[in-house]
Chains A and B, each alone.
Chain A
Amino acid sequence: MDPENQGQVKTIAERAQKDMIPKSDIIVVLGASDLDGVMISAETVTTGDPTFSGPLAGVSLGLPVYHILEPEVKAVVPENVYQENIGIWELAVEPERLEKIGQELKALREKK
């Protein structure tokens, strides 16, 4: 994950903590289409930057991470908006890969 973006996420999380916003009310939603990309970004905002190169190196924010293609996200987005913006990706990403992304992120959310 880009160091500049790590810095932004860190600032937002710190500000939220100062404003007493519970961590469970802040979510990170990803759009990467490959499992490796998803998991690197997800780890970065939960346990810290795995590459130890950005502001989140060694920083455990523990934010809940979802992928826009996960069924629980899709379920609460108006169908027409979802189809217009995301529909093509539902077809482009193989169901097995999508299932794996969902499983890994769910495990990460439950671990923290």
Chain B
Amino acid sequence: MDNWLKGKTAIIIGERDGVQGPAIAACLEAAGANIVFKVTECFV
């Protein structure tokens, strides 16, 4: 599969009770995306 993530500008909305922002960022960065915003939301 072509790396469609390469060069994309990525906004990451992680969740504390799900996959958190830094974990998603590590994956997208490794795939060549440009992370412009990452956050881990918390719903209580």
A85 surroundings in chain B (CB, below 8 A): 23-24, 26-27
Q: In the bound complex, what is the Cα–Cα distance between A25 and B39 (angstroms)? A: 20
Q: How far is the CB of A111 from chain B (nearest CB, A)?
A: 19
- Bitwise, A18-50 to B at CB < 8 A (1) or not (0) is 000100011111111110010001000100000
B: residues with CB less than 8 A from A are 1-15, 17-21, 23-24, 26-28, 30-31, 33, 36-37, 39-41, 43
Q: Is the CB of A25 within 8 A of B41?
A: no
On whether the beta carbons of A77 and B27 are closer than 8 Å, the reply is yes
Complex: A45 Cα to B37 Cα, angstroms:
14
Chain A contacts for B17, CB-based, 8 A: 32-33
Q: Are B11 and A26 in contact (CB under 8 A)?
A: yes
Alpha-carbon distance A63/B12, docked complex (angstroms) = 12
